[in-house]
Amino acid sequence: MRSAYKEYYFRGADRIEFPDEVESREFGYIPFGGGMVRHLSFRSKGEALAEILKQSPSSVYCSNARYESPRSPIEEKGWLGAELIFDIDATDIPTACKKGHDLWYCEKCHASGKLPRPPKCTKCGGPSVEFHGTCETCLDAAKVHTNRLVGFLVEDFGVDRGAIRVYFSGNRGYHLHIFDRRFDPLDQQARGEIAEYVQGSSLPLSQSIAATLRRRLPTGPQGAGWARRITGYVGERRQSYEGTLQKLVSEAISSQRAMVDSSVTTDIHRVFRLAGTLHGNTGMSKMRIESTDKFDPQEDPVVLSAKPVSVKAEFYPKFRIRHIDYGPFKAETVELPTYAAVPILTRGLGEVA
């Protein structure tokens, strides 16, 4: 695996995207077969790149924060500010298809079953792990929420579209990095409020919004922000809508909110996968995308070679890559393109035969 990753890094070194002020960022990486190495810093992009090529690790991370002393322990780093970041993951967006492709399995005996995951394997008591399958519906849902988030940032927060960089995460979602200095000094609480706002979770109850609207039913969008979104939605549909006004209001919210992982946005000391580097589990690239419409998350981030590898797979649920289904596998040796073999190998559910 390391040689497959190394091959990519030598070929794709120019795809690695470093943030500004590299010297004040904290870097980290996870080597193959090892634990996380953190609190690293480099004087230049060149120095950082040389280390990435040399290590060719399983994962590479960089902070969104800038520090006076990025190598020091967290409390002594001297925090100087951090770009606002959002994480949208298909796993967190409720879609009906998840029942069909998400499951838990036992790392020991490979028993598996439907979610929720039992704390221990129901058959042998071994460690249980969640498996999230990939399907077009879920990946499309992540795109929809990404576009909604961009809408909130541009329309409600006055962010310039050019200041929003959208990245595919390398797995099942998107990272948005906001290069707008107004947000950089914000603390955890302020970032949490922004995350709540875009999710519509800080709004009054739909019952009380409905009570306000009932006094003068809107015929079109009024006000700004969420008020404009809700009145626009209700105004357009209220004539033909069969349910209650309260139900229509909750629908206006749920169909326009952007589901983000708040814990990511509020953590101001986090390190994020560096753009242009490979995901440690999937072998896909975290990559910058210009538009979600043109981006194919099943195809475009697949950057490892197609060279066939013989894999002795102990167990692996059905999965999909480059629009081709593989598996499920159970105690069999299969020949797979490198990019399809990597997810099995990284989970330790198979080995090169």
| Residue 122 beta carbon to Zn ion: minimum distance, rounded to whole angstroms | 8
In this chain, which stretch among 98-106, 197-205, 214-222, 234-242 interacts with Zn ion, using CB under 5 A?
98-106
- Catalytic residue, chosen from 140, 261, 267, 296, is 261
Active site residue 184: no
If one asks whether residue 150 binds Zn ion (CB under 5 A), the answer comes out as no
Angle (CA) 54 58 63, round 5°? 85
Of the pair 105, 183, the CB lying nearest Zn ion is at: 105
Residues 170-199: x where in contact with Zn ion by CB under 5 A, - otherwise, as a string = ------------------------------
If one asks whether residue 123 binds Zn ion (CB under 5 A), the answer comes out as yes
In this chain, which stretch among 127-135, 285-293, 294-302, 317-325 interacts with Zn ion, using CB under 5 A?
127-135
Q: Figure out which of the listed residues 108, 312, 320, 347 binds Zn ion, where binding follows CB under 5 A.
A: 108
Q: Figure out which of the listed residues 72, 137, 246, 346 binds Zn ion, where binding follows CB under 5 A.
A: 137
Active site residue 300: no
Q: How many Cβ atoms are within 10 Å of 308's Cβ, its own excluded?
A: 12
The residue to which tokens 């996870």 are assigned: 30
Of the pair 56, 282, the CB lying nearest Zn ion is at: 282
Of the pair 143, 165, the CB lying nearest Zn ion is at: 143
Q: How many Cβ atoms are within 10 Å of 235's Cβ, its own excluded?
A: 17
| Residue 113 beta carbon to Zn ion: minimum distance, rounded to whole angstroms | 10
Active site residue 87: yes
DSSP bridge pairs for 130: 104
Q: DSSP assignment, residue 224? A: S
C-alpha dihedral (192, 193, 199, 201), degrees to nearest 10: 110
Handedness of CA 192, 198, 201, 207 (dihedral sign): positive
Of the pair 145, 177, the CB lying nearest Zn ion is at: 145
Q: Which residues contact 139 (CB under 8 A, 6 or more apart)?
A: 90, 172, 297, 298
129 backbone dihedrals φ, ψ, rounded to 5°: -130, 145
| Residue 273 beta carbon to Zn ion: minimum distance, rounded to whole angstroms | 23
| Residue 298 beta carbon to Zn ion: minimum distance, rounded to whole angstroms | 12
The residue to which tokens 């929420």 are assigned: 145
Of the pair 96, 290, the CB lying nearest Zn ion is at: 96
In this chain, which stretch among 3-11, 128-136, 213-221, 266-274 interacts with Zn ion, using CB under 5 A?
128-136
Task: Write the DSSP assignment of 215-235 as a string of letters.
Answer: HS--SS--SSHHHHHHHHHHH
The residue to which tokens 């906001």 are assigned: 178
Q: Figure out which of the listed residues 48, 106, 176, 195 binds Zn ion, where binding follows CB under 5 A.
A: 106
| Residue 121 beta carbon to Zn ion: minimum distance, rounded to whole angstroms | 3
If one asks whether residue 85 binds Zn ion (CB under 5 A), the answer comes out as no
DSSP bridge pairs for 308: 337
CA neighbor of 91 nearest in space, from 79, 106, 80, 102: 102
If one asks whether residue 234 binds Zn ion (CB under 5 A), the answer comes out as no
CA neighbor of 181 nearest in space, from 68, 88, 113, 80: 80
Q: What's the start-to-end Cα distance of the chain, in Å? A: 13
| Residue 95 beta carbon to Zn ion: minimum distance, rounded to whole angstroms | 5
Q: Which residues contact 342 (CB under 8 A, 6 or more apart)?
A: 1, 4, 282, 283, 304
Q: Tell me which residues touch Zn ion (CB under 5 A).
A: 97, 106, 108-109, 111, 121, 123-124, 126, 135, 137-138
Catalytic residue numbers read 87, 89, 261
